[in-house]
């Protein structure tokens, strides 16, 4: 029997039953990942997320009754703290930007190879930035083209903020960063909020992408 430990419980919200079945079968092959629930609509997904408290949600973008962006908003307003990966067929940059700026923790495409999808899921629940490779370049280009792009630089940050930004670039969650820096998780959240404000980003993923571009990711 697979141990359900913190970090590996997953809820799938998708209105295509065959796709949900495929994801369920795929997760059965991964002893370190545990599917705890499936939902066929946004409303059902929010209710299940509140009931099951999963660590990660795989959320379809283009659902009929309530799309993934609206569902993501409801999850956050309801206080669901799970990481959320949008799982979609759409490689439209507008959908990518909408999802990331609505608070998604990643954006991955349904046409990925099964082993690539499993790895993306693992990266997602471990706190890493997850964006399909061919879309990441579009996100980087969009950040470069923003009005605020020329005003962003590391010199405007404190040494502590740079430490936290480096950890974000390496995939650290707030809890992991707090542990590594021996500070309270609430303090990390305040620093992240200040980083978003100073650098004029609307999401943690944008922040992480920019930090990697600044060579803070340790690559």
| pLDDT digits 0-9 by tens, 197-211 | 999 888 888 888 888
**What architecture (CATH level 2) is domain 9-140?**
3-Layer(aba) Sandwich (3.40)
Domain map (residue ranges) of the chain? 9-140, 147-213
Give the whole-number percent of the chain exceeding pLDDT 90.
47
User: pLDDT by residue (tens digit) across 38-83?
Assistant: 999 999 999 999 999 999 999 999 998 899 999 999 999 999 989 9
What is the predicted pLDDT for the residue at 39? Answer: 96
Per the listing, tokens 């079968």 go with 25
Q: Residue 94: pLDDT above 90?
A: no
Return d(Cα 195, Cα 208) in angstroms, integer.
11
Q: In terms of pLDDT, which residue wins out, 5 or 190?
A: 190
What is the predicted pLDDT for the residue at 40? Answer: 95
What is the predicted pLDDT for the residue at 144? Answer: 80
CATH code given to domain 147-213: 1.10.10.10
What is the predicted pLDDT for the residue at 218? Answer: 57
What is the predicted pLDDT for the residue at 157? Answer: 92
The reply to whether domains 9-140 and 147-213 share a CATH topology is no
pTM above 0.85, yes or no: no
């Amino acid at each position: 029997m697979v141990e359900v430990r913190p970090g590996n419980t997953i809820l799938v919200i998708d209105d295509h039953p065959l796709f949900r079945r495929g994801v369920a079968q795929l997760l059965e092959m991964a002893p370190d990942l545990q599917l705890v629930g499936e939902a066929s609509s946004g409303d059902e997904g929010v209710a299940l997320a509140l009931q099951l408290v999963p660590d990660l949600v795989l959320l379809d973008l283009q659902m009929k009754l309530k799309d993934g962006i609206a569902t993501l908003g409801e999850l956050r307003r309801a206080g669901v703290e799970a990481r959320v990966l949008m799982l979609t067929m759409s490689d439209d940059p507008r959908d990518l930007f909408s999802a990331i700026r609505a608070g998604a923790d990643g954006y991955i495409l349904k046409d990925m190879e099964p082993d690539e999808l499993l790895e993306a899921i693992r990266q997602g629940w471990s706190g890493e930035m997850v964006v399909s490779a061919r879309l990441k370049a579009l996100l980087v280009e969009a950040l470069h083209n923003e009005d605020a792009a020329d005003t962003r630089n590391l010199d405007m940050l404190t040494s502590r903020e740079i430490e936290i930004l480096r950890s974000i670039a390496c995939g650290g969650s707030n809890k992991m960063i707090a542990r590594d820096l021996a500070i309270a998780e609430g303090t990390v959240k305040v620093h992240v909020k200040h980083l978003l404000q100073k650098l004029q980003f609307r999401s943690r993923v944008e922040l992480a992408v920019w930090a990697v571009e600044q060579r803070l990711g340790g690559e």
